[in-house]
Copies of this chain bind each other. A is one copy, B any other.
Amino acid sequence: MGDAKTLRYEQLAADVRQLIDDGLLKAGERLPSVRETCARRGISPSTVFQAYGLLELHGLVEARARSGYYVRAQRRPARALPAPAVPNLEAAEVSVSELAFDLIESTRDPQVVPLGSAFPGAHLFPFESLARSGARAMRRLKAGAVTSALTAGDAGLRDALRRRYALQGVALAPDELVITNGAMEALNLCLQAVTAPGDVVVVESPTFYAALQVLERLRLRAVEVATDPREGVDLAALAELLDRQRVAACWFMPTFQNPLGALMPAARKQALVELLQHHGVPLIEDDVYGELYASERRPPPAKAFDSQGLVLHCASFSKCLAPGYRVGWAAAGRHARAVQRLKMMSSLATALPPQLAIGDYLAQGGYERHLRQLRGALAAAQQRAWRLVERHFPAGTRVTRPAGGYFVWLQLPAQVDALALHHRAMALGISTAPGVLFSADRRFVHHLRLNVGHPGDARVEAALRRLGELATEAASR
C-alpha cells in the first residue's frame, strides 16, 4: 500500500533522516529550527512538528524544552521498558469481564477524559466522507443485495479487501473472507471454530482484556506466554509450552500488541507460524492495529507466512477508518467454511449499509491519504504523551515506546497500586485501563495502559499531568 503520494511531513522526515545517516547532522547537534524550516520549504509549523515528531518516535532526535530538537546519541528510550512478565503457566479460568464492563461503561461518559478508552479520538476519522459514501451506497442498495450478501458479506467489499491484501503480498482464497460485526465477532467465530469448551488457548502476557472475555464466554482456559514489550511473544517459551501440553489455539496480536504495542519482526512472525504449523496449532491473529504503523511500511501480518491455512486472520476498519460502523472480517484459512457457518448461526450476516458505505469510500480513493494523516497524527500524539510521562510520572516509572498504535503501557514503582490509582483518577474524571485487566490471574498490579491517541484534546495533556502527580503522590507514601 505504498503507492499513494508521500505527504510533506514524511518527505521532510526522510530528508532529515538522510542528513543524519550521512553524518551531516551529528549526535547532539540541533535540527534546523521550526521557523527556519517553514520559511525554507514553504510549509506550516505543524508539518514540521509532525516530521520532527516522527523522527523522535524513531529514536533519532529528541526535543529539549525551550530549545528545539537535537540528534540523539543513541536510540535507546529515555525511560526503561517495562520488565517482561513471567507468566503463570497453569491454565486459568477467566473472569475479567465485570471490570472490563465497568471500564467500557465509564468511557461512555463524554465528560470523562478517555485515557482508558480503546478507540483513538473520533475527530481523526473521515465521518463526513463516509456519510457521503453511505448516502450514495444506500441509494444503490437493491432488493437482491440482501440475500446475495448472506452470509459472507458484500462481494464488492470482499473483493476490495482481497486486493488490498494481495498488494501486501498476502494471497487470500476467494471464499476465505467473511465480513463480521467488527473484529470482535471475527475473533469470537474463529476461536469457536477451532476450540471446544474446556480447551486451552495461549494468549500473550499481558493480553488484551477482550481476549480474556471471549475465552470466558466460550468457557476456555487461558495459558499466558511471556511477551517482550518490543518483539512480542517469546518463541522459546511458547515452544516449550507446546511440547508440554495440548493447546487448541494461540490468540496473538503480532503487530502493535494491545497493551504492549510490541511488534514481532517479520522473521519472528514467520518462525511463529512455522512453530505452530509443526504442532498443528491454529493461530488466531488479531491485526486490528496493523495499519497504524509509525514506520515506513506496513509490517506484514503473520498470515503472510501461512502456507497451510492455519492462520485465522482477523481485522477491522474500527481503529483505522470507521469506528461505530462495526465492519470487520476473518480470513480463516482452512477453517473459513466453519467460520462462515458459525456466522450464520450467531448473527446471520453483517449489516449491509456500513459495508456498502465503506466499499464506496474505498472506491473513491481517499483511504491511503486518510491513513497517512492518521498515522502522522497518532505518532505526534505519542511524542507529546511520552514527554509528559517523562516529566510528570515518578522516578522508576517504565514506559513502552511502540512503533505503532496509540497505547503506552506503564509500569509504575512497586509502591503504586494501579487499580487504586485508576479509582482515584476516575473520581477526577480521568479514565485509565488498569493492568489487572490484562491478565487472567490479575497480575500487572503496578501497570496502566493509557490511550494517547487523542491529539489536540487539551484535556488529555492535563489529565496525563494530573495522573503523573497522583502516581508520584502514591509512590512517595
Interfacial residues, chain A to chain B (CB-CB below 8 A): 97-98, 100-101, 104, 107-108, 110, 114, 117, 119, 121-123, 125, 127-128, 130-131, 134-135, 138-139, 141-151, 180-182, 184-185, 188, 192, 197, 210, 213-214, 216-217, 219, 323-327, 340-342, 344-354, 357
Given A131-B139, A192-B217, A341-B101, do A346 and B146 touch, yes or no (CB 8 Å)? no
Cβ-neighbour of A107 out of B150, B184, B323 (below 8 A): B150
Contact of A326 among B135, B197, B341, B347 (CB under 8 A): B347
Smallest beta-carbon distance A216→chain B, Å: 7
> In the complex, what distance in Å separates the CA atom of A355 from the CA atom of B192?
28
A353's partner among B100, B134, B142, B348 (CB-CB below 8 A) is B134
Q: Of all chain B residues, which has the CB nearest A109?
A: B148
Sampled A-B contacts (30; CB under 8 Å)? A97-B341, A101-B340, A104-B151, A104-B344, A110-B147, A110-B148, A117-B147, A125-B143, A127-B138, A134-B138, A135-B139, A180-B347, A181-B185, A181-B347, A181-B348, A181-B350, A182-B348, A182-B349, A184-B347, A188-B345, A213-B345, A214-B345, A216-B345, A326-B348, A326-B350, A326-B351, A327-B351, A346-B346, A347-B347, A352-B354
Residues of B within 8 A of A101 (CB): 340-341, 344
Bound-complex Cα distance A346 to B130 (A): 25
CA distance A217 to B119 in the complex (A): 31
A348 pairs with B184, CB closer than 8 A: yes
In the bound complex, residues from chain B placing their C-beta under 8 Å from that of A145 are 324
Q: Considering the complex, give the chain B residue whose CB is closest to the CB of A185.
A: B347
Contact partner, A325, options B128, B147, B213, B351, Cβ 8 Å:
B351
CB–CB A107/B139 < 8 A? no
A165–chain B nearest beta-carbon distance, Å: 23
- Among B98, B147, B342, contact of A119 (Cβ-Cβ < 8 Å): B147
Q: Give the 9 A-B residue pairs with the shortest CB-CB distance, closest first.
A: A122-B143, A135-B135, A131-B138, A146-B324, A326-B351, A324-B352, A185-B347, A213-B345, A181-B347
